[in-house]
Structure 1
Amino acid sequence: MIAMGHELLVGLILLGGLSTSGAGTPPGEARPNIVLIMTDDQGYGDLGVHGNPVLETPRLDRLAAESARAGTFYVHPVCTPTRAALMTGRHPQRSTAIDTYIGRAMLDPSAVTIAERLSDAGYSTGIFGKWHLGDCAPMRAIDQGFDVSVIHAGGGIGQPSDPPGGESAYTDPILFRNGVPESFEGYCTEVYVDEAIRFIDQVEKPFFLTLTTNAPHGPFGDVPEDLYDKYRAMDLEPVGASNHDRQARIFAMDSDIDRQVGRLLDHIEESGLVEDTVVIYLHDNGPDHDGYVAGLRGRKGSVHEGGVRSPLFVRWPRRIEPGDRPELMGAHLDLHPTILELCGVAPNPELPVDGISLVPALVDPAVSTTDRSIVIQAHRGDRPVRWHHAMVRDGRWKLVNHSGFGREIPEGEAVPMNLALYDLREDPAETRNLAAERPEEFKRLSEIYQQWWDSTIVEESDAYRPPAIRIGPEVGTVRLTRQDWRRTRKGPWGGRSQGRWWVESLPGAPHDVLVRKLPSATVRPDEFEIRFNGKVLHAAEWPKGESMVVVDAIELPVGTGWFEVVCRDEESDYGPYQVEVRPPS
């Protein structure tokens, strides 16, 4: 076994894509295409190849058989932090994409994505499905290195960022092609693959294609009917789910992913691109259901293994032999430097990353990456909180403080501390806390976490403020939704919550502002105000019986500030449902 030295890897801190192999694309050889596939809320056990007793995924199982398969691969327990880490190769806490909504899921535009690096290296780049790193300029996928983008808004279909007419529509969705809404026909996963195939056929090679499905993320009311009928007619008792109808709907989405990925892989083969294309497959976090998790503990949102473990399959017939890589322990952070090495793109010392290249271990099963430390932390809140909902993996040992992803810790309040130490070699299900029995390992992993915190977290008071949404004539229509606002009153993003958007107002003509009220028929504003940095720019009565109002020629002050719309009735103030800031009509 060849080990990649622990002293270089502790904490995954600023490593710039460490590699020891030269096993990527040599100079002068044709660079490979990259197809990166990541599904949403599909658990480690939601694959036939991982022993699921009911779910059928023959095409993904075949892909696994044709791929190098990581022994252990980590992601964050929720969507956005995983996507930020994957795209940048850096801990999400180094950026502003640390949660999944209300202005905490926007990638700082100064972050450099793998799409930007590959675009600069001559790759055509496209993303199809879910972005979840910002809906407005300059945080959109097309602002962050992607030439072609066909994506839904926000964190999923069925959320407050849905465009009018596309609410909760997985079938015949309204998506955004390069930032412009467009109606499509078909189930969303099928649409993404249709667009991915069109991209392959039309763009210059080599290409970087990212397929990030929102399935099997909920809501679960709109699923492929043929597959739903199949699974609800089956005996689901073996998977142990508490809600069989819900599980049948999720399995229908999973099987449709299998079907659609099979179509994409067939097209790659029919186009003669198999030898020239690297296919990478993973999940973004654990499952959003109970039941079968392949023996792991926890689910989505958990920092136990069931919430943070993902498969990693890497297929490249030209250079990577299929088979298990039991000594490969990796994380989403590693894919950025791994892809760069596969594509023959040298690391840039001025753009350091926290991950390492996994190419040596993918090419040579004798290479081990298990002697390293991986830190994962994610929780609700406007900024990271020390020790809140975190895990440290180092070799066989794992230290966990499972304080709850959904718990926000108010400033000055102590984090619940219930640290547990597990030996994952002997106890992969995390059933036996060895903290009292192995104090030296407990202390060592605690120190690794402290080192990670001190070297990663930005302490400035405004470090995790949302990036500024750009408003100006050249930007066009800007859609402001509750996905990207920062709350001014505690509560979720629904109902009578209230918030505001951090914006950069550019010089230019006045703007027309369209305000939509909450969809509920029981919420009817009496009046509304438009404000910038607290100053009222416009105040008026809400037109009776109308769901929206348009105000012409609003002059926004030039510069950065908080843009806010306040609706009001006899009960309280609250926020609008959506706002559009448009060039003047």
Structure 2
Amino acid sequence: LEHNGALVKGNGFLVDDLTDKGLEFIENNKAEPFFLYLPYNTPHSPMQVPDEFWNKMKNKSLNFLSDTNDDEDLKFTKAALAMVENIDYNVGRITDKIKKLNLEDNTIIIYLSDNGPNAYRWNGNMKGKKGNVDEGGVRTPFYIQWTKHIPKGLELNEIAGGIDILPTLCGLLSIPYSTEFPVDGEDLSALLLGNKFESKDRFLFNHWNGKTSVRSQKYRLDNENRLYDITVDRAQKNDISNENPNLANKFLEAKRKWENETITTTKQNDDRAFTLGYPKAIYTQLPARDGEAHGTIERSNRWPNDSFFTNWNSVNDSITWNVDVLEEGNFQVEMYYTCPPKDLGSVVELSFGDSKITAKIIEAFDSHLIGKEHDRVLRMESYVKEFKPLNLGIITLPKGKGTLTLKALEMPNKAVADFRLLQFKKVD
């Protein structure tokens, strides 16, 4: 993990640890306005959850199962549900803290998720899961609490999206705001406060990996341009586009317009590089996740999230990053690596344009893969291990875009090292 850019060790189960840090933040800021954003990483693979929650779930029979796929992995589902109960526990810790400090009437609390389930399991008879743009892939829970302002138990049926959070919060608090470009979302504060609200038959657009769907209050046009009345057909089984050609064309026109304005423009201009050396930051990380391997080097897993590079077996191999140095400066660089005693002695070079630094790997560090012993279900992602920092020295980076390259100048044995990340620390 990291804290203000510096690498740190966590304490116990991550969701519990993040909550501990959130509670500490609330305590330290209880006398002044504060904003706490606490994004948990569960329920998500790897399917790890403390025994306290797993033991309550592992032998339970499930009353609600996936109604769209017969291959539901019940152990995976139970692990996900155990994670959700752990989330409930930790959200409760946050709300209890707010109550204990007598801040409840003066604090807006929002709870939401980001997408549908990460595997086939019960999903309210909605079609799809994470990774697609059908109703079950993108519709998520959203709860908001502001005691003495938003009526308890209020349930709203207006469609809304994440884009509405900013304008709605500003509306609730009567905070004016100005942005360079128009805000896409709507201010729904009147709905929450029980005030007069003129409902609009608006469109919400969902996009994932080249697939787009469009949702109105009543209908959804899916990625293949089939139209469904979601109010009576959440499972999206009855395509009504042929019976309603004018309505379907209205959705299709909106979809094409949105894709032309958003996706096409983004693809044409998306030459963004990884930024390095943000002026107000001390540290910048460039992990294996964001690098590109050349030669014999391979990822430890096809999913990049927590992968590292291995099979670095030649001086002709390299790892590169497309970077944008935001401000010229000097940076102390550490390379996190593993290397068994038999492969010591390689000399590695980091270069950016005419700037170069080199270091020799002289200390062995060869940890084993960890994490499998805690998985309730074998993961899809890479297993991880401990890595050792190697001081590469201080490199002077000019402002501007270019290719940062890590390679070996000398490799006296059969391999260079396994690689996890580069850590840049700004120095005077």
Aligned to 1:260: 90
| 2:108 maps to 1:289 | no
Give the partner amino acid of 1:185: N
Once residues 525 and 450 of structure 1 are traced to their aligned partners in structure 2, the CA distance between those partners, rounded to angstroms, is 57
Q: 1:214 aligns with which of 30, 41, 47?
A: 41
Deviates most, 482-491 or 197-206: 482-491
User: 3-state SS of the aligned residue for 1:561?
Assistant: strand
Using structure 1 for the length normalisation, give the TM-score.
0.58
| 2:265 maps to 1:459 | yes
Distance 1:470 1:432, change over 3 A: same
| 2:15 maps to 1:196 | no
Pairs within 5 Å for 1:45-194? 175-194=1-20
Once residues 519 and 261 of structure 1 are traced to their aligned partners in structure 2, the CA distance between those partners, rounded to angstroms, is 42
| 2:423 maps to 1:580 | yes
Q: 2:102 aligns with which of 261, 272, 281?
A: 272
Give the partner amino acid of 1:550: N
| 2:416 maps to 1:560 | no
Contact 2:6–2:283 (8 Å) recurs in 1: no
Give the partner amino acid of 2:328: P
Contact 2:159–2:216 (8 Å) recurs in 1: no
Deviation at residue 216 of structure 1 after TM alignment: 1.6
Cα offsets for 1:400-442 (capped at 9, x unmatched): 11xxxxxxxxxxxxxxxx3322111221111122233322222
Once residues 319 and 359 of structure 1 are traced to their aligned partners in structure 2, the CA distance between those partners, rounded to angstroms, is 11
Once residues 206 and 341 of structure 2 are traced to their aligned partners in structure 1, the CA distance between those partners, rounded to angstroms, is 42
| 2:164 maps to 1:334 | yes
Once residues 343 and 358 of structure 1 are traced to their aligned partners in structure 2, the CA distance between those partners, rounded to angstroms, is 12
Once residues 201 and 492 of structure 1 are traced to their aligned partners in structure 2, the CA distance between those partners, rounded to angstroms, is 38
Once residues 575 and 368 of structure 1 are traced to their aligned partners in structure 2, the CA distance between those partners, rounded to angstroms, is 59
Distance 1:450 1:218, change over 3 A: same
Deviation at residue 584 of structure 1 after TM alignment: 6.4
User: 3-state SS of the aligned residue for 2:151?
Assistant: coil
Distance 1:560 1:289, change over 3 A: same
Once residues 541 and 572 of structure 1 are traced to their aligned partners in structure 2, the CA distance between those partners, rounded to angstroms, is 13
Contact 1:232–1:245 (8 Å) recurs in 2: yes
Q: 1:390 aligns with which of 208, 212, 225?
A: 212
Deviation at residue 318 of structure 1 after TM alignment: 1.9
Q: 2:226 aligns with which of 406, 411, 420?
A: 420
Contact 2:332–2:394 (8 Å) recurs in 1: yes
Give the partner amino acid of 1:582: K
Deviation at residue 575 of structure 1 after TM alignment: 8.9
Once residues 101 and 363 of structure 2 are traced to their aligned partners in structure 1, the CA distance between those partners, rounded to angstroms, is 58
Deviation at residue 319 of structure 1 after TM alignment: 1.7
Aligned residues: 384
Aligned to 1:147: none
Deviation at residue 545 of structure 1 after TM alignment: 4.7
Contact 2:339–2:416 (8 Å) recurs in 1: no
Deviation at residue 464 of structure 1 after TM alignment: 2.3
| 2:205 maps to 1:375 | yes
Once residues 360 and 266 of structure 1 are traced to their aligned partners in structure 2, the CA distance between those partners, rounded to angstroms, is 28
Contact 2:339–2:365 (8 Å) recurs in 1: no
Structure 2 residue ranges without an equivalent (≥5)? 311-317, 367-387
Deviation at residue 506 of structure 1 after TM alignment: 3.2
Distance 1:226 1:581, change over 3 A: same
Deviation at residue 349 of structure 1 after TM alignment: 5.3
User: 3-state SS of the aligned residue for 2:221?
Assistant: strand
Once residues 303 and 395 of structure 1 are traced to their aligned partners in structure 2, the CA distance between those partners, rounded to angstroms, is 16
Deviation at residue 474 of structure 1 after TM alignment: 7.0
Deviation at residue 287 of structure 1 after TM alignment: 1.0
Using structure 2 for the length normalisation, give the TM-score.
0.77
Once residues 19 and 238 of structure 2 are traced to their aligned partners in structure 1, the CA distance between those partners, rounded to angstroms, is 44
User: 3-state SS of the aligned residue for 1:330?
Assistant: coil
| RMSD of aligned Cα (Å) | 3.6
Deviation at residue 499 of structure 1 after TM alignment: 4.2
Contact 2:329–2:426 (8 Å) recurs in 1: no
Deviation at residue 546 of structure 1 after TM alignment: 5.3
User: 3-state SS of the aligned residue for 2:222?
Assistant: strand
User: 3-state SS of the aligned residue for 2:215?
Assistant: strand
Once residues 561 and 458 of structure 1 are traced to their aligned partners in structure 2, the CA distance between those partners, rounded to angstroms, is 25
Structure 1 residue ranges without an equivalent (≥5)? 1-174, 380-387, 402-417
Larger Rg: 2
Once residues 288 and 508 of structure 1 are traced to their aligned partners in structure 2, the CA distance between those partners, rounded to angstroms, is 42
Once residues 201 and 540 of structure 1 are traced to their aligned partners in structure 2, the CA distance between those partners, rounded to angstroms, is 45
Aligned to 1:4: none
Once residues 358 and 175 of structure 2 are traced to their aligned partners in structure 1, the CA distance between those partners, rounded to angstroms, is 54
Aligned to 2:254: 448
Once residues 342 and 127 of structure 2 are traced to their aligned partners in structure 1, the CA distance between those partners, rounded to angstroms, is 42
Cα offsets for 1:216-274 (capped at 9, x unmatched): 22211x31211101101211364357223222222221111111111211221222222
Contact 2:190–2:196 (8 Å) recurs in 1: no
Once residues 477 and 513 of structure 1 are traced to their aligned partners in structure 2, the CA distance between those partners, rounded to angstroms, is 10
Pairs within 5 Å for 1:20-59? none
Contact 2:325–2:399 (8 Å) recurs in 1: yes
| 2:324 maps to 1:503 | yes
Give the partner amino acid of 1:532: F
Once residues 342 and 88 of structure 2 are traced to their aligned partners in structure 1, the CA distance between those partners, rounded to angstroms, is 42
Deviation at residue 522 of structure 1 after TM alignment: 12
